[in-house]
Copies of this chain bind each other. A is one copy, B any other.
């Protein structure tokens, strides 16, 4: 089943449940990758930057993180040019996400419409020689002309699959790979991921110039077992919460059985193997970081409320498209409780993978 157009996107606007207000963990992983981002731009510019440095952020979403990587890259390039005493290039920045992403909100915060002078922090950071465009579309399709990009960045996006894997009928009331998933489910997910990530690399290889760079940050897993608790627990708890909604009569068990999350967290070995098999990119650097959710807050109640809001901001459009919009408050209240109970017994750890790639010459 291909995903519906309006399903896989973050919650829009800037309200209480919006992604814009609930994306601080994503910000943390973005900030953690900034050193590698800096190294990567610096290496790109060892000889010289082109007259116009063209960069894309894939899966930019809408909110305070949308411009974070872009402003970091641009600041790096400018600093390097100052250091080498050469003129900085112009910048063409493409912010990409699915067509249902809230581009209007991003565009309104970019810069004042009737003046080319920067008047606020964002304007300052981007500057007059930086030209921003929004590009609607899935990064599992071509998005840019051939060999038109010098730098591609994507954070917290390529762990989303192009579609829910096929052959998940036996997954029952699990909504993702789970300890209780029968044989074949893990394979269905990993096959879909291999196809999708290969497609992603192949499409980008057409769009990126020779020696162009790509830095990707996404969720991975440290265990060889895809049903290991560290990578499944958040969705196992969401499945449990949905089952609770079913007991309360909001939905049927059959509704849950036909719902699965189009997400996959690979190991670093899987990622390396796909990149090498696809063959267009050279791996400059591959790093992974363990994120211990427990240590990010001292107060567990507060942490659970924040986490539940984050999971809601990311998954709510998908949930509403499948189950309707009648019990989201109850669902995520239950989710916060499940989370609290779990965290009273054990920590939740997940892995961030960061890779820096160079486009090989043909």
Q: Report A's interface with B, CB cutoff 8 A.
A: 2-3, 5, 51-52, 90-92, 94, 98-100, 102-104, 107-108, 110-116, 128, 131-138, 140-146, 148, 162-163
Nearest Cβ on chain B to A50's Cβ, whole angstroms: 10
**B146 and A51 contact, CB distance less than 8 A:** yes
Known: A52-B148, A108-B5. A137 touches B113 (CB 8 A): yes
The SS class assigned to the A binding surface is: loop
Tell me how many chains of this kind the complex includes: 2
**A2 and B136 contact, CB distance less than 8 A:** no
Known: A102-B104, A104-B103, A143-B131. A136 touches B110 (CB 8 A): yes
Provide a sorted-by-A list of 5 A–B residue pairs whose CB atoms are within 8 angstroms. Answer: A5-B108, A52-B146, A92-B144, A128-B142, A131-B143
Complex alpha-carbon distance, A144 and B116, angstroms: 12
**Considering only CB atoms, which chain B residue lies closest to A207 in the complex?**
B131
Which residues of chain B are within 8 angstroms of A107 by Cβ–Cβ distance?
99, 103, 134, 136
**B137 and A90 contact, CB distance less than 8 A:** no
Nearest Cβ on chain B to A117's Cβ, whole angstroms: 9
Which residue in B90, B133, B141 is a CB contact (below 8 Å) of A116?
B141
**A134 and B134 contact, CB distance less than 8 A:** yes
**A114 and B99 contact, CB distance less than 8 A:** no
Complex alpha-carbon distance, A92 and B131, angstroms: 15
**Considering only CB atoms, which chain B residue lies closest to A112 in the complex?**
B5
**A135 and B138 contact, CB distance less than 8 A:** no
**B114 and A138 contact, CB distance less than 8 A:** yes
**B115 and A110 contact, CB distance less than 8 A:** no
Which residues of chain B are within 8 angstroms of A99 by Cβ–Cβ distance?
107-108, 110-111, 113
Known: A107-B134, A133-B134, A135-B132. A115 touches B100 (CB 8 A): no
Complex alpha-carbon distance, A134 and B96, angstroms: 10
**B134 and A103 contact, CB distance less than 8 A:** yes
Complex alpha-carbon distance, A351 and B190, angstroms: 63
Complex alpha-carbon distance, A341 and B124, angstroms: 53
**A145 and B111 contact, CB distance less than 8 A:** no
Nearest Cβ on chain B to A74's Cβ, whole angstroms: 13
Which residues of chain B are within 8 angstroms of A141 by Cβ–Cβ distance?
113-116
